[in-house]
Copies of this chain bind each other. A is one copy, B any other.
């Protein structure tokens, strides 16, 4: 007779396969699916997720889980316990929500998303307002169902960054914010120090594509176990450890979006591709939290990809591929242009310095919406005011303000913070490398990233969800997550670029 955990893993494999199938259908939808397929695809995805939910929440899973948790000899610090902890968390999250609530949430999300797709281009907040109010109300109820230690927002954050209390995030973010806002004002005052207008000329599509493939290859992305395609919004998806795919977009009227979209997704993909094979088709495959995942995409995109060594190495490559665009652009010009900072209204266009401020604004506003101190009707004004406070600019319309993102339309409150947590985790990890293993970075100037990739594999990737984000960062850096290193990193790098 096999053990409870073996029987549990066998049952869970069906759910993992269903989720993989869902991911394939999603990948296809965003890459190759013809327009006519959209309605049938939505039905197929609904069927697959309903089946996965039905299988996952079956009492049999709950019973096996309890049996495995209580099995004699279970090492609380071992892999089995880590697996059970992960399954328990997801199982409880699934069974705590009543079916009627899930149905209501799903329908309201569809309506809210649909309203958003119409209201954003029309800059019509009033029509969108009741839908968002409904999502806020549903999210509050969701938090009550899920439970929390200190405040409802804890329950939401826990969906994406398990074990991280709101209190801690608020404190970390406040420290970064208070360091960056005045620093940004100094940078903006010297905006004309850095030019990047040559990035906004005509850049050949096919050569950009070739460059993104080359950089992925250089990063150590394994094309035998993945591929890159084009989609309107870049993403990474996987159908098991041996098939991890990325997408990018290529705009011919600018240069940075394609290359840095690829490097960002490439960072996510290196994580997924290098999880220990033993974890394939188990709940321990896949990154441990969205924040840690984002730390890897941002480490490659920003900490490595926008570093002087990286830019120095690729400058001649870019010159060779795009001689006309790069005529007269020196190594220094290129590096500085890659790192140009400017206040922007749109999060996804923001640079390495201002990006986190876009997140803090959202984090603060969504906490206030959930706690009720901010009413939805007052959101646009609150948004614009805070944007002026942090970045010195005000949107002149809601499509460039509080209607720009889709995250809230399906109730993903608690998701935004993980982007900025990724920046903090990333710099903490980079600081450890700089202090203890500086030799890992020496290859960057020669386009040799493999020692770094191997170390990240050993420290982060191979563990999958074996450790929580908190455990992992403690193991790597020897301390908990801190805000200081990120602020220092930004100030040091950009003071040099902007001659402060």
Binding site for B on A (CB under 8 A): 13-14, 17-18, 20-21, 24-25, 27-28, 32-37, 39-41, 43-44, 47-48, 51, 222-227, 229, 239-243, 245, 280-281
Checking B14, B36, B229 against A51 with a beta-carbon cut-off of 8 angstroms, the contacting residue is B14
Asked whether, in the complex, the Cβ of A44 is within 8 Å of the Cβ of B17, the reply is yes
Residues of the B chain whose Cβ atoms lie less than 8 Å from the Cβ of A37: 225, 239-240, 242-243
Asked whether, in the complex, the Cβ of B243 is within 8 Å of the Cβ of A33, the reply is yes
Distance in Å from the Cβ of A228 to the closest Cβ of chain B? 11
A interface, by DSSP: helix, strand, loop or mixed? helix
Residues of the B chain whose Cβ atoms lie less than 8 Å from the Cβ of A229: 32
Asked whether, in the complex, the Cβ of A243 is within 8 Å of the Cβ of B40, the reply is yes
This protein's copies in its complex: 2
What are 23 A-B pairs with beta-carbon distances under 8 A?
A14-B51, A17-B44, A18-B51, A21-B21, A21-B24, A21-B44, A21-B48, A24-B28, A32-B227, A34-B226, A34-B245, A35-B224, A36-B225, A36-B242, A37-B242, A39-B242, A40-B241, A40-B242, A40-B243, A41-B243, A43-B281, A44-B240, A51-B51
CA distance A437 to B86 in the complex (A): 67
Checking B27, B41, B47 against A239 with a beta-carbon cut-off of 8 angstroms, the contacting residue is B41
CA distance A214 to B392 in the complex (A): 54
Please judge, given known A-B contacts A25-B24, A280-B40, A281-B43, whether A34 and B223 are in contact too, CB under 8 Å: yes
Checking B14, B20, B222 against A36 with a beta-carbon cut-off of 8 angstroms, the contacting residue is B222
Ranked 8 nearest A-B pairs via Cβ? A37-B243, A36-B225, A40-B240, A17-B47, A36-B242, A17-B44, A21-B21, A36-B224
Residues of the B chain whose Cβ atoms lie less than 8 Å from the Cβ of A13: 43, 47
Residues of the B chain whose Cβ atoms lie less than 8 Å from the Cβ of A281: 40, 43
Residues of the B chain whose Cβ atoms lie less than 8 Å from the Cβ of A27: 28
CA distance A229 to B32 in the complex (A): 10
Nearest CB in chain B to that of A240: its residue? B40
Select the residue from A25, A28, A37, A239 with max chain B CB neighbours within 10 A.
A37
Residues of the B chain whose Cβ atoms lie less than 8 Å from the Cβ of A14: 47, 51
- In addition to A21-B24, A35-B224, A35-B225, 12 A-B residue pairs with Cβ atoms within 8 Å of each other are A13-B47, A14-B47, A14-B51, A21-B44, A21-B47, A24-B24, A24-B25, A32-B32, A34-B226, A37-B239, A40-B243, A44-B239
